[in-house]
A and B are shown apart, each in its own frame.
Chain A
Amino acid sequence: MRGPAGQLLMYGVLTIAGAFFAVPIVWALGEAVGVTAVHWLLNSLMYSGGGVVLAVGLCVPAGYGLATHDFPGRRPLLILTILLMLIPPSALVLPLFLEANAAHLLSSPLALILPYGLFPFGVYLTYLYFHNARFGALLESARIDGCNEWQAFRQVAVPLSLPVSALIVFLNFIASWTNFFLPWVMYWSFDAINRYPLALGIALQLRNSQTTGFYTAGLQLHTSSPPGQVALLVLVSGAPVVVVLVLAQRWIGSGQLGGMFR
């Protein structure tokens, strides 16, 4: 095994190589859609990425706890989770805005990442995933072998949770990436253009639309950039989701999750 210095050197070389291969492509993207748009893209990646990490980090232990431990309040929590997951997220947007406004957190990344990280559906999926006799038996034998609760979780549950975690990543990423209403209320009224996620950046294209007086019959669509560039932006906005879709499918595997539909 190479030592730490060797590891560092290897990663250094790989990074430089990665940059060599990737930079021209990123540059082309920047030229095509403009620097601001690339900024928006990176913002969206940060907000959605942060949300996904938070979601998985919270959902997997919570679903595991609900599925394998009995404690007072367990059933109410489960019911509350299901109720919340059946409510459309947009119902919470204005309440979240009012709360963020009161907390002076408007136009902060947290105003988006925290709501994105709340994913009751993910908790429910994980609960279904771990709530079966086979897994229960696995857990029991781990406990008999002397594992404490944390070790059992870390060494038995976590490695097995890959398919459901991948599903959570996929669903949560799409939900936050395509979200419009929440970023709109959190960010729009502040001209912090550089902090817009991509969804808002696209909306910005419509800012310069005009009507001829009050007669909309003469309305023509005017966008801030030429239609070709806007079209490209639209396609770019869809690309990461397709990438996540393809990656997630590798890990999900219909077999393990097929049994979840009753």
Chain B
Amino acid sequence: MRPRKSGYLFVAPYVVLLLVAGIYPMGYTLTLALTSFTAHFSGVTNFVKTWQNPTFLPAVGHICLFLVIWLTALVVLVVGLSLMLHSLDHRIGAAYRFLFYLPAALAGSASVMLWLFMLQPGLSPWSFVLNWFGLSTLGAVLAGGHLAAIFAVIAFWSGAGSWIVVMHGALATIPTEVLELAKVDGAGPWRTALTIKLPLIRRWIGYMLIGAFAAGTQLFAEPQLISEATGGVLNQTWSPNQVAYNLSFHLGNFNYAAAVSVDLLAVALLSAVIILRRSGLFALDT
């Protein structure tokens, strides 16, 4: 690679869009968060006010519960399924992967719509499971205490497939010699999976966890659509993003909404920095 100023021309269009649709919105939001309604600098007032808002802390609590369930499911089930698929014949594994990936093809609201049907006793093919839990109406299913788990199920259904594909890529980097040596040494498929494959994809699992964490904190579509399904009576501010959305659209307070948005953005940026520095997954050499 030689020093060439023409590089600027190649990256220019991208940089322009980066500024317009990436940097500027973040900067503008930060500015809004730090100023008052009358455009005076107000420091951390907006942040404090929103943290004191009665909907904010419960929303944070909801998201934490959701994250615990979801991330556990991701680590256990995605890694478990990926390891199982990896031990299968190449084409069978590919067929399963395609099947697991299929739900990711649905438009965000389509997944929730589909699951609303899945959760309606009487209509759902899973009715027998719902009845086994003693739930005979949709209202009973959507009771407040269940929501974190329900959203985790929906998010898992839509997202696990993509992560399984990523794990597949990770497992593919394991040199076949290593696996063959293990076989020669007498290790069965379970032992190979647990003691050899698993440690080698550690970095990728870490990346998945942090990435899913950052994405999970942003949860919006699922709770918002459930809220719509109840005629907007319930759960309008279940997740922090909904709180922010509510603040801007229903209360017209963009400064408060910006403050909540900055909170979430900070979490996302922190996660990004952690992945960048700790995972060693990214090629930054010249």
Contacts and interface: CB of A to CB of B under 8 A. Distances in A.
Contact residues on A (Cβ < 8 Å of other chain), bracket = 35 or more
Interface string B208-235: 0001001100101100110011110110
Contacts of A221: 116-117, 120, 123, 138, 229
A219 B29 contact: no
A60 B1 CA distance: 17
A65 B268 CA distance: 28
Given A70-B1, A95-B29, A180-B107, A84 B116 contact: no
Interface stretch (B52-60, B139-147, B191-199): B139-147
A71 B5 contact: yes
Contacts, number: 270
B22 A94 contact: no
Describe A's contact surface by its main secondary structure: helix
A78 B104 contact: no
B113 A206 contact: yes
A83 interface: yes
B28 A181 contact: no
Nearest to B228: A206
Contact of A237 (B9, B106, B120, B275): B106
A91 B265 contact: yes
Given A102-B28, A234-B110, A71 B7 contact: yes
A84 B268 CA distance: 10
Contacts of A174: 104-105
B106 A178 contact: yes
Contact of B13 (A61, A69, A114, A231): A61
B7 A220 contact: no
A82 B1 contact: no
Interface stretch (A2-10, A14-22, A115-123): A115-123
A95 B229 contact: no
A75 B108 contact: no
A39 interface: no
B172 to A, nearest CB: 7
B132 interface: no
Given A118-B21, A199-B110, A237-B106, A95 B11 contact: no
B6 A69 contact: yes
B224 A262 contact: no
A114 B29 CA distance: 18
A11 to B, nearest CB: 31
B230 A216 contact: yes
Given A82-B282, A115-B21, A202-B110, A77 B11 contact: yes
B74 interface: no
A149 to B, nearest CB: 4
A65 B13 CA distance: 11
Contacts of B5: 71
B40 interface: no
Interface string A57-84: 1110110111111110011011111111
B14 A123 contact: yes
Interface in B37-83: none
B96 interface: no
Interface residues of B, number: 86
Contact of A70 (B2, B113, B221, B225): B2
Given A88-B268, A211-B233, A258 B172 contact: yes
Interface in B230-286: 230-231, 233-234, 241, 244-245, 248-249, 254, 257-258, 261, 264-265, 268-269, 271-273, 275-276, 281-284, 286
A90 interface: yes
A114 B139 CA distance: 40
Q: Which of A91, A98, A120, A238 has the most CB of B within 10 A?
A: A91
Contacts of B107: 44, 177-178, 180, 197-199, 202, 237-238
Contacts of B230: 209, 211, 216, 219
A95 B140 contact: no
Nearest to B222: A180
Given A95-B28, A221-B117, A227 B123 contact: yes
10 contacts: A61-B11, A69-B2, A71-B5, A86-B214, A86-B271, A94-B258, A181-B221, A211-B139, A241-B106, A261-B170
Instruction: Give the 3 A-B residue pairs with the shortest CB-CB distance, closest first.
Output: A65-B10, A69-B7, A180-B108
Given A97-B248, A199-B107, A216-B139, 20 more contacts: A59-B14, A70-B3, A71-B3, A86-B276, A88-B215, A90-B241, A91-B265, A98-B248, A117-B21, A178-B107, A198-B107, A203-B228, A209-B230, A219-B138, A221-B117, A227-B123, A231-B117, A234-B106, A234-B113, A238-B110
